[in-house]
């Protein structure tokens, strides 16, 4: 019997046209994986198109645009998106939950094509015929790289660079605790294959919009240190986005800033997105607190050290409820 990885390879090889997608508010791992798989499919003569469920962050756009990859962006309306019937296979990368794929279930309707998920998150819904999940992987890019290698697709520089983007961005340039020896071995192979690490660093960390700095200022002004400095909480409302001229893409990684403080065990970022009625709560941990388990109490999920959830209510009410629950989780200082 074939293993799941080989089943996915055979399914993709037999496809006529693949729709590739990832979670809303795509990060470097999501975009890098989408680009790498689109180029891998092209190398095998399989047509594909990428569907982005929200805005494409400018700093990651090159991975799609420079490589001539067809992509569509949902901007409130789905009227300009090709019908699902155009595709016979759906490939979902870097998520396996419907909550991270808003509108996709309705878009698919009774579509009967093959559904494939490749992901590294613990929280999963039953949305695929074939699922390749490795929660020990530092990034979905690691799993995609293994698949491409198993498929014996040449690691061209453009594919190597897309994979490096995925892995480097999801590990904080190999500084986060999810970095493992296999991650660094893969990074070395990608550099040998032609990935330009300096160019990617500039794209990820030195190409921000000025609006992001203004938004960061607003976030830091909201900072509260609670539980004797063990919990850091920041929040942003729609007013903050409007006055900064920013959008949700400008919030990426802001949650990690309070983790620079030695006493902080958990960083919480509560955001009222301009385009949504739900309040988003992001959580990061240095390892003492399993924030994925905590987020599941509110219907969310993720990794032990990086998780999130969404709740209905006002910014203040959601913040108060989740902060109170986290304070109880942390308990008194031991």
CATH 3.10.310.30 domain range(s) in the chain: 211-330
Strand order in the sheet with 306-311: 224-226, 231-236, 266-271, 279-285, 306-311, 301-302
pLDDT of res. 45: 97
pLDDT of res. 257: 95
- What does the DSSP assignment read for 275-328? T-SSEEEEEEESSSS-HHHHHHTTT-EE-SSEEEEEE-S-HHHHHHHHHHHHHH
Global pTM?
0.84
CATH 3.90.1640.10 domain range(s) in the chain: 4-205
Non-local CB neighbours of 75 within 8 Å, separated by 6+ positions = 55
With residues binned 3-state (H G I as helix, E B as strand, rest as coil), the percentages for the chain, rounded to 5, are: 45, 20, 40
Contact of 153 with 40, CB cutoff 8 Å = yes
Q: What is the pLDDT along the chain (334 residues), one digit of tens a residue?
A: 569 999 999 999 999 999 999 999 999 999 999 999 999 999 999 999 999 999 898 899 999 999 999 999 998 789 899 999 999 999 999 999 998 999 999 999 999 999 999 999 988 999 999 999 999 999 999 999 999 999 999 999 999 999 999 999 999 999 888 899 999 999 999 999 999 999 999 988 888 889 999 999 999 999 999 999 999 999 999 999 999 999 888 998 899 999 999 999 999 999 998 877 789 999 999 989 999 999 999 999 888 888 999 999 999 999 999 999 999 999 887 6
Non-local CB neighbours of 37 within 8 Å, separated by 6+ positions = 20, 48, 91, 93, 144, 148
CATH number corresponding to 4-205: 3.90.1640.10
Contact of 279 with 55, CB cutoff 8 Å = no
pLDDT of res. 333: 78
Q: What is the CA radius of gyration of the chain?
A: 20
CATH number corresponding to 211-330: 3.10.310.30
């Amino acid at each position: 019997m074939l293993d799941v990885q080989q089943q996915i390879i055979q399914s993709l090889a037999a496809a006529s046209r693949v729709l590739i997608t990832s979670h809303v508010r795509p990060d470097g791992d999501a975009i890098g994986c989408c680009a790498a798989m689109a180029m891998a499919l092209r190398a095998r003569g399989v047509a594909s198109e990428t569907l982005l469920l929200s805005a494409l962050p400018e700093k990651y756009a090159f991975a799609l645009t420079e490589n001539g990859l067809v992509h569509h962006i949902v901007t409130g309306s789905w009227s300009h998106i090709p019908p699902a019937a155009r595709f016979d296979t759906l490939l979902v990368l870097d998520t396996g939950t419907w909550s991270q794929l808003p509108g996709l279930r309705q878009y698919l309707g009774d579509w009967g094509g093959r559904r494939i998920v490749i992901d590294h998150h613990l929280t999963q819904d039953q949305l695929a015929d074939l699922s390749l999940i490795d929660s020990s992987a530092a990034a979905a890019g690691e799993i995609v790289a293994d698949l491409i290698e198993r498929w014996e697709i040449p690691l061209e520089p453009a594919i190597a660079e897309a994979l490096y983007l995925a892995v480097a961005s999801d590990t904080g340039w190999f500084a986060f605790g999810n970095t493992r020896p296999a991650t660094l071995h893969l990074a070395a192979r990608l550099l040998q294959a032609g990935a330009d690490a300096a160019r990617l660093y500039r794209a990820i960390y030195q190409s921000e919009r000025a609006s992001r700095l203004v938004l960061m200022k607003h976030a830091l002004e909201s900072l509260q240190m609670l539980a004797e400095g063990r919990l850091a909480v920041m929040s942003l409302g729609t007013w903050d986005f409007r006055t900064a001229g920013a959008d949700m893409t400008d919030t990426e990684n802001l949650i990690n800033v309070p983790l620079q403080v030695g006493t902080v065990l958990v960083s919480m970022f509560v955001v009222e997105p301009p385009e949504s009625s739900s309040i988003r709560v992001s959580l990061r941990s240095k390892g003492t607190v399993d924030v994925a388990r905590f987020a599941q109490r509110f219907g969310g999920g993720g990794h032990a050290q990086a998780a999130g959830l969404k709740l209905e209510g006002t910014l203040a009410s959601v913040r108060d409820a989740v902060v109170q629950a986290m304070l109880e989780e942390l308990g008194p200082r031991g």
